[in-house]
Amino acid sequence: MNLTPTHSRIVFVYPPATLSPRPHISGQFNLCLGSAYIIAYLREKGITASPFLFNRPIDAAECTRQILAHKPKLVGFTVYSSNYCACQLLARYLKEADPDIIILFGGPTPTVQARTVLENNAGVDICVRNEGEETCLEIIASLERAGYRLPVANLENIPGITYRRGPDIRENSDRLIPIDLKKAPGYLDRFPSPYLSGLAGSPRLGILTARGCHRSCVYCNCALLSRRFITTHSIDRVMAELLYIQERFGPPYPITDIFDDAFTLIPQRAIDICRAIIKEKIRLPLTCVTRCDFISEDILDLIKEAGFKAVGFSLESAVPRVLRTIGKVSSPDTDQDPTFEKEKEFIDKFKKYVVYAKKIGIDVVYASIMIGLPGETEAEAGQTIAMIDSLKDYLHFYAHNQFQVYPGTPIFANHEKYGLKLLAFQNRIHFKTLYPYDLSRIKLGDNANLIGDSQAQDQTNIKTLALAITRKNGHANTQEAPFFGQLILENDHIGPGLVRWLQRYFAINGHIIQVYSNLAAARKFHLENEQALSQYISPTYYHAAYYRTPLDPPAPYPQTLTPFRFHVLGPQCGFSILLTQTRAKLDNRDDGKDPWQTLCIDRNPDDTRALHQFLVEIESRGTSLTDLFAAPMFPNFHHLCRFQGQAPNCRVLETLFVDEKDHLRTCLTGEPIGRVGMPFEEIQGQLIDLRQATAKRRGCAACPQAGHCAQCLFTNPLPEAEYCSLQRQSPVHRAADSLRTLDIFKDILPSL
């Protein structure tokens, strides 16, 4: 089907929802491989389609305006459970702004829960199930014929969609492709390459050499969605993409992920691809995931020779009976092999090939496991970890996952049989898996990825608590940003009022850090709060939880913030943030406490004086980054921003604190600047008035330090006059700015 070129505009949106501890990518709207394929295909057919790309955080209202600037007739969303709320919110805003825009949801969540999605969201018109290229083309062709008047468009004959027609929800048949067609080598070449068509501007999108899986794993819907069939690109097409990436993006050659469900599921094809890579002299550092029952030493040799930098093996469990239950090797329904010989062989091969892969020099060999699997006991989970630990000299890391029951997977229907429970959130999209035993009791293996990632996340969060402003809003001058990106919640309860306020004024995928009053409160409210974020449609799902713990024996500032994560994933996952008074830390610098895990807070004037004196000390020793990188690491200072030359948080409004009375503050010791529910513009307006009044009162206009002074609005606990005096007599903005700059590297370096 080819359409005549049209002015109709189709925009595809992939809202960010990363749970990555690396926050710098968390606010971006990027291209994803699924919609990239669809866009490339539509363009080939003469349709004006484009991705919505945005490289810095943005709130839902501004995002809606930016999407509308494309003048779209149809907006398609790539929807996962993790970005579902952001998709809901944007769909609603778009529909409110222009009811004629047709909203389409595609991706994993609409594929398995199309009816629920439509029931939940009056603004969503069509759900595309499974692969979207041809389905989208047929939808657009039909809409073109109907002049984009959805009520009269003929959608009845388009397979693979569920859609709204008046008050009804109609579910068309699945899109079935004849087996003969699908099994032809290169079947997928009918879809143009996102790279070769010039659409993909970054190699980070990765590539697919094949789609689908033919296995029977009960926890995964890859095989289900592909009807246990693998469709492939031709080797020539794969080589053309890799050569393009090499020439377009290198040197240096970028790491390029092959995102096939498992690269060697058709072993001979993997061999052919590797040989072609070697023949074409492609030098990209490639990565892939494989299975130890579909690989051999010969294939690993070829993989190494082809330049693969990383190879991952999915193990899931080291217990044969558990492997059978989850269908990893043999179907759980099989009545053959009652002693699990195939599973035992699988485990032996896993060990053998992990060792071999490392031995032949593949840089990064890693594995993935799950604990909490159906029918698994606590001791058996420990067995899996023990086996992984026995291979730690060969495994760069292992992905330590907790088993989750997802809708659409075979286990969803019979999870209760294994003692698992599912808690359905009100939207019936999000579910919480409840296990028969406490998974946090399982000690992680030494090289679990969660250990480093959790530490990086705590570093990110301590940086946020220290108000280390990164200008993520993209507005160098403060009062322009109509939203904020980080929320410190100092109360126990999230209600609808807060979430609805966040919808208006919080960045999509912004960071919420909730500090519960104690462990009991965290246990009581955390799940409820997660449900509230889902139910009331939060623009973010980043919700890090800590609780206050008194120190024993009491310290100068007797608290730590302990990650609630310890009680979910285990006590190895991250670190407690030690809150201490600034002067106490500066008077006792080598107290054995990791400075990176310490947050210094000014509680009395001596704290602020000590901080200032410390900055004077740095000014005298040198404030270049080179000097500071070579100095022993510094703790985090919550009140550093009052001495920096850059605008502090009370002017930038990147982070807001909400207390138990819903008051808003810009730092822990600041005065309230408003309440939850207030329009952000009003808060900004009040702060502008306050700044002007403060500047007038202090005589800032005539101050020689005016150009370098942060002009902190809330100098507590230091008297205002003394603050001005310190700033005038001994300016320390260079030292403060340099320390701030060091802060931004703290969560990156350890996780490299």
Partner 1 sequence: MDFGKKTLQDILRKKIGEKDAKQILDAVNDAYKEGIQGDDLVNLFRKKLIEQGHDASDSSYGCVIALA
Q: Restricting to residues 366-385, which ones interact with partner 1 according to CB under 8 A?
A: 366, 368
CA pair distance 264, 284, nearest whole angstrom: 18
331 binds partner 1, rule: CB under 8 A: no
CB of 118 to partner 1, least distance (A): 27
User: Is 6 among the residues that bind partner 1 (CB under 8 A)?
Assistant: no
User: Within a 13 Å sphere around the CA of 530, how many CA atoms are in the beta-carbon half?
Assistant: 16
633 binding partner 1? (CB under 8 A): yes
Segment contacting partner 1 by CB under 8 A, of 97-105, 176-184, 490-498, 618-626: 618-626
**Residue 178 C-beta: closest distance to partner 1, Å:** 31
When computed from its CA atoms, the radius of gyration of the chain, rounded to whole angstroms, is: 28
Our finding on whether 247 is near partner 1 (CB under 8 A) is no
- Residue closer to partner 1 (CB basis): 318 or 456: 456
Which amino acid, one-letter code, is at 31?
A: L
Q: Is residue 744 at the binding interface for partner 1, with CB under 8 A as the rule?
A: yes
* CB-nearer residue toward partner 1: 706 or 748: 748
Compute the distance between CA of residue 52 and CA of residue 150 in angstroms, rounded to an integer.
Answer: 23
Q: Under rule CB under 8 A, which residues in 129-148 are in contact with partner 1?
A: none
Residue 122 is a binding residue for partner 1 (CB under 8 A): no
Q: Residue 308: which residues within 8 A CB-CB, separation 6 or more?
A: 285, 286, 287, 288, 362
Q: Is the dihedral of CA 350, 351, 352, 358 positive or negative?
A: positive
Q: Which is nearer to partner 1, 15 or 635 (CB)?
A: 635
What 8-state DSSP symbol labels residue 29?
Answer: B
752 binds partner 1 (CB under 8 A): yes
Distances (CA, A) of 277 to 152, 236, 242, 280: 50, 10, 8, 5
Interface map 186-225 toward partner 1 (x if CB under 8 A): ------------------x---------------------
- Please select the residue that binds partner 1; options are 634, 657, 714, 723, rule is CB under 8 A: 634
The CA-to-CA distance between both ends of the chain, in Å, stands at 48
Q: Output 118 or 709, the one with its CB closest to partner 1.
A: 709
Cis link prior to 558 (omega < 30° from 0)?
no
How many other C-beta atoms are found inside a 10 Å radius of the C-beta of residue 393?
Answer: 8
By CB under 8 A, the residues from 382 to 411 that bind partner 1 are: 399, 401-402, 404
Q: Which one among 148, 229, 244, 259 touches partner 1, defined by CB under 8 A?
A: 259
Query: Which of 240, 243, 700, 742 touches partner 1 (CB under 8 A)?
Result: 742
Selected binder of partner 1 within 590, 701, 702, 707 (CB under 8 A): 590
750 touches partner 1 (CB under 8 A): yes
Token output for 244: 């393009």
Cα separation, 601 vs 635, in Å, equals: 11
Task: For residue 90, give the amino acid letter.
Answer: L
Question: Of 341, 362, 193, 209, which Cα lies nearest the Cα of 273?
Answer: 209
Shortest reach from residue 208's CB to partner 1, in Å: 12
Q: Which stretch binds partner 1 (CB under 8 A): 108-116, 605-613, 662-670, 735-743?
A: 735-743
Binding segment (CB under 8 A) for partner 1, from list 194-202, 222-230, 247-255, 405-413: 247-255
Contact at 8 Å (CB) between 442 and 380?
Answer: no
Contact positions with partner 1 (CB under 8 A) in 438-477: 449-450, 453-454, 457, 469-472
CB of 624 to partner 1, least distance (A): 6
Can you tell me the distance from the alpha carbon of 159 to that of 306, in angstroms, rounded to the nearest whole number? 40
Structure tokens at 301: 């040799």
Alpha-carbon distance of 55 to 187, in angstroms, equals 34
Residue 493 binds partner 1, judged by CB under 8 A: no
25 binds partner 1 (CB under 8 A): yes
Residue 84 makes contact with partner 1 by CB under 8 A: no
Please state whether beta strands 674-675 and 168-171 pair in parallel, antiparallel, or not at all (unpaired).
Answer: unpaired
Name which of 139 and 710 has its Cβ closer to partner 1. Answer: 710
Strands across the sheet containing 161-165? 48-51, 9-13, 74-78, 102-106, 126-128, 161-165, 168-171
**CA 148 from centroid of its chain's CA atoms:** 35
Determine if 532 is a binding residue for partner 1 (CB under 8 A). no
Tell me which residue of 439, 397, 368 sits closest to 219, measured CA to CA.
368
- The residue count for the chain: 752
Contacts with partner 1 in 267-326 (CB under 8 A)? 287, 289, 309-310, 312
* Residue 548 binds partner 1, judged by CB under 8 A: no
Least Å from the CB of residue 9 to partner 1: 31
> How many CA atoms, within 13 angstroms, populate the side-chain half-sphere of residue 49?
28
CB of 644 to partner 1, least distance (A): 11
**133, 134, 138, 257: residue in contact with partner 1 (rule CB under 8 A):** 257
Residue 587 makes contact with partner 1 by CB under 8 A: no
630 binds partner 1 (CB under 8 A): yes
Give the H or E element holding residue 425: none
Closer residue to partner 1, CB minimum distance, 259 or 425: 259
252 binds partner 1 (CB under 8 A): yes
Pick 26 or 64: Cβ nearer partner 1: 26
Q: Which one, 140 or 210, has the nearer CB to partner 1?
A: 210
> 176: phi > 0 → left, psi -120 to 50 → alpha, else beta; which?
beta
Q: What is the DSSP string of 662-697?
A: -EEESSTTSPP-EETTS-HHHHHHHHHHHHHHHHHH
* Shortest separation between residue 629's beta carbon and partner 1, angstroms: 4
Tell whether residue 68 is a contact of partner 1 (CB under 8 A): no
Shortest gap between Cβ of 279 and partner 1 (angstroms)?
A: 24
Query: Exactly one of 60, 545, 673, 736 binds partner 1 (CB under 8 A); which one?
Result: 545
Identity at 429, one-letter amino acid code: I
Size of the site for partner 1 (CB under 8 A): 72
Angle at 339 between CA 334 and CA 343, to 5 degrees: 75
The least distance separating partner 1 from the CB of residue 341, rounded to whole angstroms, comes to 29
Among candidates 411, 385, 413, which has minimal Cα distance to 398? 385
**Residue 391 DSSP SS3:** coil
Min separation Cβ 622 and partner 1, Å: 11
> Applying CB under 8 A, which part among 20-28, 208-216, 325-333, 345-353 lies near partner 1?
20-28
CB of 19 to partner 1, least distance (A): 6
- What tokens appear for 623 in the block? 């404030």
604-607 long-range contacts, CB within 8 A, separation 24+ = 604/717, 605/717, 605/718, 605/719, 605/722, 607/581, 607/582, 607/583, 607/639, 607/717
| b/e 39-77 (16+ beta carbons within 10 angstroms → b) | bbbbbebebbbbbbebeebbbbbbbbebbbeeebbbbbb
Q: Indicate which single residue of 222, 364, 422, 706 sits in contact with partner 1 (rule: CB under 8 A).
A: 364
